[in-house]
Structure 1
């Protein structure tokens, strides 16, 4: 009766361990659709072009992939409670607001509002950490901070939405993919 062995717990641990051993391309094929893969490829190009640092750009994208895949594994294994699922719904709504806002800021010149966007991204960060806080390690929570810190960097944000920014062609591709995902119900 006091035996705490549970096959489901072992299975989840094995999946997380296997995830850490898989290549990013293998992970992407199993958990990320073509549209999201295109967004991630373009985010890599965007961060690499902005920072001039290939390793940092790779780290941001790898951390996004790890976060998305771990959340997907938790969801597929019914690890989220009813309360967690409510938070996940709030997170999805907040993320949709961010995506729509980014699209609007890009398409309508001089509408960029750094304070508004930063607040919404940080609200998203709080909801994401609330969702996964009881399920993932501090290292994974650090990955969330790393990614969202990159997106909320004031200089980065200003450069991305500056009408004459040299990064606009890559950002246009990201915007197109995000719009397509909205149209197809993928966000």
Structure 2
């Protein structure tokens, strides 16, 4: 995060306010706060991502942490964007990230809906490109702890063992993945992805 003092000891209340917003909102990362930043479709998607993660990991606490980390990242991105904190270059990175994330979401839908189309290397590379693009965009603005959250989220989703387990045709996670795909389709139709 940018330093609070600027120039010759100039006090920047806006910087302090921005830091306070990010800190307060990240500590309150629950469904009520998330509703301000996240629409119903995305909320349903996050609920179903939680169910898929829990189905796969059998770990309620880690699955909750995954979704909370996603919410915290989205909230912080929203605060940064609403406060015009991104440079032109970072906004270009954001657009590239959005395009890559969109194509990754479409691939997930396709791999679920079309038998024998699952391509793990493609998904791993797509998630990795999204991961690196988002990190490059937010690194100047977020703390190492927040960057670690970004890493944790993407490392979960691009894990080959996770991808193989959920996309396998006879997967016990197929129903949970189907709910995620249904929400992704809805988000794509609404232009939210």
**Residue 106 (str. 1) matches residue 106 (str. 2):** no
Count of residues paired in the alignment: 187
**Residue 76 (str. 1) matches residue 59 (str. 2):** no
**Long gaps (5+) in structure 2:** 1-6
In the TM superposition, what is the alpha-carbon distance from 1:3 to its structure 2 partner? 3.5
In the TM superposition, what is the alpha-carbon distance from 1:68 to its structure 2 partner? 0.8
1:125 equivalent in structure 2 = 131
Root-mean-square deviation over aligned CA pairs: 1.2
| Correspondence for 1:22 among 28, 31, 40 | 28
2:187 equivalent in structure 1 = 181
**Long gaps (5+) in structure 1:** none
**Residue 161 (str. 1) matches residue 136 (str. 2):** no
In the TM superposition, what is the alpha-carbon distance from 1:23 to its structure 2 partner? 4.5
**Residue 42 (str. 1) matches residue 48 (str. 2):** yes
Structure 1, residues 107-155: CA drift from partner, whole Å, max 9, x if none? 0011111111101110111100000010001111111111111111111
TM-score normalised by length of structure 1 = 0.96
2:12 equivalent in structure 1 = 6
**Residue 140 (str. 1) matches residue 157 (str. 2):** no
Say if 1:166 and 1:124 are closer, same or farther in 2 by CA, change over 3 A. Answer: same
| Correspondence for 1:115 among 116, 121, 137 | 121
Deviating beyond 6 angstroms after TM superposition, the runs of 4 or more aligned structure 1 residues are none
In the TM superposition, what is the alpha-carbon distance from 1:28 to its structure 2 partner? 1.3
Structure 1, residues 75-119: CA drift from partner, whole Å, max 9, x if none? 000000000000000000000110010000000011111111101
